[in-house]
Amino acid sequence: MIKQIIFRNLGSVFKQLLILISIFASASLIAFFIKNIGFPVINAVVVYVLSVLLVARFTRGYFYGILASFFCMASYNFFFTQPYYTFNVYDKSDIITISVMLIASILISTLTSKLLHASKIAADRESQTNMLYLITSSLAKASGVSDVAAVSVQCLSNLLDTDVLCIMSVESDNSMSLFQARKGDRRIQINEVDNKQVEEYSSGKKVIPIGDTNNQYGIICIPIVSSQESQEREKLVPAIIMQIQSAMDREKFSEEKKIVKIEMEHEKFRGNLLRAISHDLRTPLAGISGTAEVLMSNLEKEDDRNLAEGIFEETNWLTQMVENILSLTKIEEGRLVLRKQPEAIEEVVGEAVKHARKFAGQREIISDIPEDVLLLSMDGKLILQVLINLIDNAIKHTLPDGIIQIKVHTDKNRVWFRVADNGSGIKPGDMPYLFDSFFVAQENKGSSRSGIGLGLSIVRAIVQAHGGRIFAENDKNGGAIFRFYLPVKESAGDE
């Protein structure tokens, strides 16, 4: 490798020297010709200066120009000043000529070299700018992260004139894709690879990561190269990698945005559907239950009246189910908007008890509320639903002559509500799952009208939305106790 470099450099030096010598020889020939036909010898000076300019133009660096300047000075001195064919000078003016000639030659050669160098840099810059522009515009056209990767390897391969690999991790699964651009081939190969293959592909190559530490998209592998030209071009690589990264960022964000938009539309559709269903179910349910109710009083035979009553009860159960599912969907969609107002606790509890009595049969419902008026900021309708659900639950789990107690008391900054019954209580195994959606106590599974276990999860969601908590426990004397508290805000203190 090193030998090769030296050899190549030697070749280059040899070539430069050849240019130098041929130009110098031509200039000398012309100078002799001028001298022979009898023109003033001073013209040879001009020819030599011209030759130095040409050497500087066609060789690289300052060295050959300066070398040519000395050659020309020596040659002029040797061939064209008296005494001829010696380096001595008789005429003092010749010394001036020779010195001026040397200084002029050196200046001209260095200036020319500088100019050449500057114009080369400018040309390089222009081509780099063009290349970057080309890459930027193709990256801008790419859509999707993998398209960006394909465009990137293609551009880098064109720029560096070599094979380029890009390995991208795929987010959805843990696989990786390999984008491969071969030198001089316009097609990109895309393969699925695993970790082992990645190591094989990247070994012995320069590995450049794309992305920052939190957001790693993948790596780009390029062969390690040594030619000066390639090294020059590789200086562009970091800038290009930055471009690739920002293109990938852009594509990733737009993909994420697209997903969010799709999800939002999906949610909206679901919401509209549920609203439509809720309306379209309520109306026929109202029709069925109302009709059954009319039949219950109109039919003459008791058996028929019982049938109508069955329809009525089943419809009510179904209605409650629909309402519960709708409430839960609202809560889960985050659409539970609290319309808080100061409410008198006695009104809310009273209303809940009044409502529950309709379904309580012979059960006794006792409410124990502080004599002082107690105001609390809450969404009255929702807390009413909490209490109704808890009392309904107690009704379901007590015998027909059961007792249900509702008690309200306050401590420093909380109002506690307690619904207790003397029923079967909560099975210890059920305790952890009590407030989960669709959980139904073991004993009730298979019974037709047990519900689908939404009541308590709705209760918990509403209490939590108010900043409170709910607890369930068993009474030592039998029966279940549900307790929840709501925080007292400054806006609704005790009266």
Q: Where do contacts with other proteins occur on this chain (CB under 8 A)? A: 278-279, 282-291, 293-294, 297-298, 315-316, 319, 339, 341-344, 346-354, 357, 365, 367, 373, 375, 379-381, 384, 492, 495
Instruction: Kindly tell me which of 35 and 489 has the beta carbon lying closer to other proteins.
Output: 489
C-alpha 387/C-alpha 418 separation (Å) is: 9
Phi, psi for residue 255 in degrees, rounded to 5? -65, -40
Instruction: Kindly tell me which of 299 and 440 has the beta carbon lying closer to other proteins.
Output: 299
C-alpha 120/C-alpha 273 separation (Å) is: 69
C-alpha 306/C-alpha 444 separation (Å) is: 25
Angle at the Cα of 181 (from 173 to 237), degrees rounded to 5?
A: 95
DSSP-assigned beta bridge partners for residue 376: 343
Instruction: Kindly tell me which of 223 and 342 has the beta carbon lying closer to other proteins.
Output: 342
DSSP-assigned beta bridge partners for residue 487: 414
Instruction: Kindly tell me which of 303 and 371 has the beta carbon lying closer to other proteins.
Output: 371
Instruction: Kindly tell me which of 178 and 384 has the beta carbon lying closer to other proteins.
Output: 384
Q: Are 121 and 68 in contact (CB under 8 A)?
A: no
- Token pair, residue 359, equals 């379904």
C-alpha 260/C-alpha 256 separation (Å) is: 6
Q: Are 75 and 105 in contact (CB under 8 A)?
A: no
List the one residue out of 160, 148, 158 whose CA is nearest residue 236: 160
List all residues 6 or more positions away from 226 whose beta carbon is below 8 Å from its beta carbon: 1, 5
CB of 296 to other proteins, least distance (A): 9
CB of 491 to other proteins, least distance (A): 8
C-alpha 191/C-alpha 272 separation (Å) is: 43
CB of 293 to other proteins, least distance (A): 5
- Helix or strand or coil: residue 482? strand
CB of 326 to other proteins, least distance (A): 9
Instruction: Kindly tell me which of 208 and 318 has the beta carbon lying closer to other proteins.
Output: 318
CB of 322 to other proteins, least distance (A): 10
How remote is the C-alpha of 130 from its chain's centroid? 30
Angle at the Cα of 250 (from 247 to 255), degrees rounded to 5?
A: 125
Instruction: Kindly tell me which of 163 and 379 has the beta carbon lying closer to other proteins.
Output: 379
CB of 279 to other proteins, least distance (A): 5
Instruction: Kindly tell me which of 218 and 468 has the beta carbon lying closer to other proteins.
Output: 468
Instruction: Kindly tell me which of 94 and 293 has the beta carbon lying closer to other proteins.
Output: 293
C-alpha 231/C-alpha 242 separation (Å) is: 18
CB of 346 to other proteins, least distance (A): 5
List all residues 6 or more positions away from 94 whose beta carbon is below 8 Å from its beta carbon: 77, 81, 82
CB of 302 to other proteins, least distance (A): 18
Q: Which amino acid belongs to residue 454? A: L
CB of 374 to other proteins, least distance (A): 9
C-alpha 8/C-alpha 2 separation (Å) is: 10
Instruction: Kindly tell me which of 65 and 451 has the beta carbon lying closer to other proteins.
Output: 451
CB of 140 to other proteins, least distance (A): 49
Q: Which residues of 402-420 are buried (b: 16+ CB within 10 A; e: fewer)?
A: bbbbbbbebeeebbebbbb
